[in-house]
Structure 1
Amino acid sequence: MTESLLETASTIAPSQGRDRHWEWQYLDLMRQIWEHGDERVDRTGIGTRSICGATIRFDLSGGQMPLLTTKRVFWKTASREMLWFLTGETNIRPLCAQGVEIWTDWPLDRYRKATGEDIARADFSRRIVEDEGFAAEWGDLGPVYGKQWVDWPVYEPAGDGLYRKRAQGVNQVAEVIASLRANPGSRRHIIEGWNVAELDAMALPPCHKTYQFHVANGRLSCILYQRSCDLGLGFAFNMWSLALLTRMFAQQCDLEPGEAVWMGGDVHLYLNHASLVEEQLSRTPSGEARLEIARRPDSIFDYRIEDFTVSGYAPQGHISAPVAV
């Protein structure tokens, strides 16, 4: 660790508001990983510092939302991704058409390796949007998140020991909504993305893999278990999306929002994110964001980005860092 980072970490004391702002949970975790995490070579070859197991809790009452204030989080981009998951879509074309590029690097990497063409990212995205055939060939991610959420495959006996895939799989999202309404005390309100049989067909196996909902005293909480978390870049989107999904489910089930509880398995920082870590640990959280949902759609699948308005969000500047593919 650099001397400047150590000096920065030592200047942040509990008296500065650690008990008053939820984001200290995040900054403390970042510092713990950077100073004490196990350094290892990872899938990307970049290397990380990692710990096993972490929890962050956030109270969603009063419209509060967990947007990091020590750097700008593009919450509309994260929201568009969540709405895309709920469609069951697996092709990046609808995302690229909205200017959302968070999934583009994986198809782009596959295209470059397969064709040898060093196409620019912007040109690749533009071609994905403009050319339906090109998008069909190069823009699909395989059966990632949304496919598992709303169309988990089911196979039925077809005779002679063979099985055929049912035309429509299990819509976990719809089933959990129905379960929350009919039997709120159940311990089976779970949406699972980790389909072992289809992991090899996915561009990236699900990181935020298991969501479990819990009802108590008319409030809906959700626990997310995330097997792998890039704390420097990915967490901000993951935490926002968890809270947004919980708010949407609560509205659909006539419940008040409770807590968003994030649980990380392998929680890590990439070694090439030193400047991000140093800069973010030098900042102090302040302010809070609140979300207003303009209407109640007919179903969980009918929300639009225009339904969401955030107020009170005044973050410090954006901090850029490279994405590991």
Structure 2
Amino acid sequence: MNNPGFPNRQADDRHPEWQYLDLMRHIWQHGSERVDRTGVGTKSVFGAILRFDLADGKMPLLTTKRVYWKTATREMLWFLTGDTNIRELCRQNVQIWTDWPLETYRRETGSEITREEFSAKIVKDEVFAARWGELGPVYGKQWVDWPTYQYQPDGTYRKGPGINQVAEVIESLRNNQGSRRHIIEGWNVAQLDQMALPPCHKTYQFHVSDGRLNCALYQRSCDVALGLPFNLWSAALLQRMIAQQTDLEPGEFVWMGGDTHLYLNHGDLVEEQLSRGPEGKPRLEIGRRPDTIFDYSIEDFTVADYLPQGALKAPIAV
């Protein structure tokens, strides 16, 4: 399915990655220029849709630049632990979340410590990590330990057991496939101000059709150049793991963006990537089926037929 208003190619030339490139081009040429939270400025559109068929191991892994899929996979596995401290990520040299606590540390201490020095200290010093590595109740906390509160006769509330949304969705997919409530939600309004960054990829809904598991992700805010390549891979990876755990075949992955934007200082990356065309059809192989979705490890995943073009870098807006 093609997006209205985006440039289209003939069906026989329609590599699935063209959807991403067409969206990037449309935003860069026609997006509304806006002042954003970071102060950098963006070009933005509202309401975008991308669709990918995950049959036969196919994955939305971009080839017009190198996407570090192992880094994105380690982040997803970390989400599933419910951890909210960057220490374990830094231990694996995954720096996706380091900039937010680093900015806080620099602001509160006046230090000019580099990201490399900060990350190394997080790994080495448990006390330092506990003080400065916390992100608040971000994604994983909401996914596997959503807080609940029970009303008491005296009019007060007592904290109840946390809800593991991921486990509950898997259970409902096994026992009630026709349900319209297969949802994992990250947008906990009561805790947004405690999070280093409120969830961008906020709502996942799953749907079963003819033995295939489909997934729709709604993303409220999307950095198309740097964030979306990771988001596409990670969501499809989650879908593939849940499909395996529920004895379903992978179906269609549908991505939906709210404020979908390119940062104004990403122009060089955008122009270079738009000069390239997709190549190859990367596929994901999952080497084993662990007892639960919480027991996968990075060694379980292998990507075949991935020959990406050169890496493209741009500054992240914090």
- What amino acid sits opposite 1:14 in the alignment? R
Structure 1: gaps (5+ residues): 1-11
- The alignment's TM-score, normalised by the length of structure 2, stands at 0.96
The answer for the alignment partner of 1:316 in structure 2 is 309
CA RMSD of aligned residues (A): 1.2
Match of 2:9 among 11, 14, 28: 14
The answer for the alignment partner of 1:5 in structure 2 is none
CA displacement, residues 50-99 of structure 1 (integer Å, 9 cap, x when unaligned):
00100000000001111001000000000000000000000000000000
* Counterparts in 2 of 1:66 and 1:13: CA distance versus 1, 3 Å: closer
Report the CA distance between 1:18 and its aligned residue: 7.2
The answer for the alignment partner of 1:221 in structure 2 is 214
1:142-291 superposed matches below 5 A: 142-166=136-160, 168-291=161-284
CA displacement, residues 119-149 of structure 1 (integer Å, 9 cap, x when unaligned):
1111100010011110000000000000000
CA–CA distance in 1 between the matches of 2:239 and 2:186? Answer: 17
CA–CA distance in 2 between the matches of 1:223 and 1:314? Answer: 27
The answer for the alignment partner of 2:24 in structure 1 is 30
CA–CA distance in 2 between the matches of 1:269 and 1:19? Answer: 26
CA displacement, residues 120-179 of structure 1 (integer Å, 9 cap, x when unaligned):
11110001001111000000000000000000000012442111212x311000000000
Secondary structure of 2:146's aligned partner = coil
Secondary structure of 1:212's aligned partner = strand
Report the CA distance between 1:262 and its aligned residue: 0.4
Match of 1:84 among 67, 78, 89: 78
CA–CA distance in 1 between the matches of 2:225 and 2:57? Answer: 25
Secondary structure of 1:154's aligned partner = strand
CA displacement, residues 182-224 of structure 1 (integer Å, 9 cap, x when unaligned):
0001100000000000000000000000000000000001000
- The alignment's TM-score, normalised by the length of structure 1, stands at 0.94
- What amino acid sits opposite 1:300 in the alignment? I
CA–CA distance in 1 between the matches of 2:313 and 2:8? Answer: 26
Structure 2: gaps (5+ residues): 1-6
Report the CA distance between 1:286 and its aligned residue: 1.0
CA–CA distance in 2 between the matches of 1:242 and 1:263? Answer: 12
Contact 1:37–1:51, Cα closer than 8 Å, also in 2: yes
Secondary structure of 2:202's aligned partner = strand
CA–CA distance in 1 between the matches of 2:214 and 2:58? Answer: 14
- What amino acid sits opposite 1:211 in the alignment? Y
Identity of aligned residues (%): 72
The answer for the alignment partner of 2:101 in structure 1 is 107
Secondary structure of 2:162's aligned partner = coil
The answer for the alignment partner of 2:67 in structure 1 is 73
Contact 1:18–1:24, Cα closer than 8 Å, also in 2: no
CA displacement, residues 223-268 of structure 1 (integer Å, 9 cap, x when unaligned):
0000000000000000001110000000000000001110000000
Contact 1:227–1:266, Cα closer than 8 Å, also in 2: yes
Report the CA distance between 1:19 and its aligned residue: 3.5
The answer for the alignment partner of 1:48 in structure 2 is 42
CA–CA distance in 2 between the matches of 1:181 and 1:19? Answer: 38
Secondary structure of 1:14's aligned partner = coil
* Counterparts in 2 of 1:91 and 1:143: CA distance versus 1, 3 Å: same
The answer for the alignment partner of 2:88 in structure 1 is 94
